[in-house]
Every structure is written in structure tokens, then in C-alpha cells.
Amino acid sequence: MNTLANNPSTKESIVEKTIELYLNLYESIDFNDKYLQYSIAFVMFNPIFWNIIARLEYNTHFLTKFAGSPKKGCYILALIIFSIGLGRDHVFNMALKQQQISPFLNTDLFKKIGYFSIGLGQILVLSSMYQLGITGTYLGDYFGILMDDRVTSFPFNVSNNPMYQGSTLSFLGISLINAKPAGLLVTIMVQIMYGIALLFEEPFTAKIYANRDKQNENKKIN
């Protein structure tokens, strides 16, 4: 084993085969397909949209004023986010139907991994929603609907962002079950966009709760 691992020709062969595999996966993606383009656009648009709307709500309370209360305003945003999520998922599935199947991915092993990914992803998503509720899931803190304490039980004891990670795993699973490299591309975009979203969401959420704690301390002093 060590002799094979240290053999330069063996290493070069592995690298060449790996590069060839990536090229085959890449070349099987039809970038001109409109549904793939729409799918990527949805993936990019959704987290940008809900972050902008949530910030506007925090600064202007426009949804609260429109709906008549913070909770109703949050429900409106939840409905919008859920709806555009359904649109994203529909376009993603349409894109997969148009794309080529990869012989490399079209195996029982990858299908099993795909089903496992979907199952794990849905567990993370649904258990996260159960723990947080609608307002906790759909940016209720931007409406002033804050939780008393940080949730530390499952799934938050195994993942800091189970909703996002669960969603990414679901995209991965669907892509593997269908053996579509284009789906893997979209999955990577999902992961990237959620990562960017967290760069904005986590510090701002921490700021909201820090302000709440500071106000509570001032009340105690007064």
C-alpha cells in the first residue's frame, strides 16, 4: 500500500483520473438551458431578497404597519419566503429534467447517499422549525419578536444553522438520486449563497439581542 502511495506514476494517474472525472461532470452540464439559469438565479435571489426585506422591516417596520402587528407582519414575510422557496424548488426540478445523466453518478451507491442526504436534511429542517416556530424560523427577531433564550437542543446541538444545512443536503440528495452534475452545481451555489447570507444575518441578529439585553439591564438599573 505504501509503495503504491509513494509511486509518482500512481499519483499522477490518480490526479489525471480525478481531473478527467471533473471535466466529464462539467462538460455534461448544459449551461445554456434556461431552467438551469433560472434555478441559479432563484438560488442567488432568495437569500438576498429576504435579508433586504428583513432589514427594511427592522428599520422602518413597514410590514408591521401594513399588517397591524409584528406577528402578522412576520407571517406575511414567512408566506413570501415559503412561496419563493417553492418557486426555486420547482425551477430546480425542471432544470434537472433537462440535464444529462452522469454514468459516474448513476450508481446504487450514490442513490443511497442521495436518499440519506434528503432524509438527514429534512430532519434538520423540520426539527429546526419545530424548535423555533414560524416567527423564529422566518426572521421574527427583525420584527422585535425575540426568543427568551438561545435554543441549544437538537438540532442546534449538532448544527449552528440546521435550516440552511438541511436545505443544502436536500439539494445534494436530489441531485445524486437523479445523477445530474447540473444539480451538484446548483447545490454548490446554494451552499455559497447561504454562507454569504450568514455573514449578514449572524452579526445583525447578535446585535439585535445585544440591544435587547442592554435595554433590560437599563430597566433594572432605573
Which tens digit of pLDDT belongs to each residue from 58-74?
999 999 999 999 999 99
Q: Diameter of the chain by CA atoms?
A: 76
Question: What CA dihedral angle connects 35, 37, 39 and 41, to 10 degrees?
Answer: -140
Residue 27 in grid coordinates: 462538460
- The tens digit of pLDDT for each residue in 197-218 reads 999 999 999 999 998 888 878 7
Tell me: cis bond preceding 155? Omega within 30 of 0 counts. Answer: yes
Identify the band that residue 17 occupies on the pLDDT scale cut at 50, 70 and 90.
confident
Residues 6+ apart with CB under 8 A from 167: 121, 125, 190, 194
Q: Quick one: 55 exposed, middle or buried, by C-beta within 10 A (0-12, 13-18, 19+)? A: middle
pLDDT band at residue 44 under the 50/70/90 scheme: very high
The pTM (predicted TM-score) of the whole model is 0.89
In which element (H, E) is residue 86 found?
helix 70-98
76 and 54 Cβ atoms separated by less than 8 Å: no
Binding-site residue positions for S-adenosyl-L-methionine: 119-121, 201-202
Strand, coil or helix: 212: helix
Tell me which residue of 116, 110, 132, 52 sits closest to 84, measured CA to CA: 52
28 contacts 100 by C-beta, under 8 angstroms: yes
Q: The cell 424560523 sits on which residue? A: 137
Q: What is the pLDDT of residue 14?
A: 79
Q: How far is CA 60 from CA 63, 65, 135, 167, in A?
A: 8, 9, 18, 30
Closest to 137 measured CA to CA, from 78, 86, 199: 78
Residues belonging to the binding site are 119-121, 201-202
pLDDT tier at 32 (50, 70, 90 boundaries)? very high
- In angstroms and rounded to an integer, the radius of gyration of the C-alpha atoms of the chain is 22
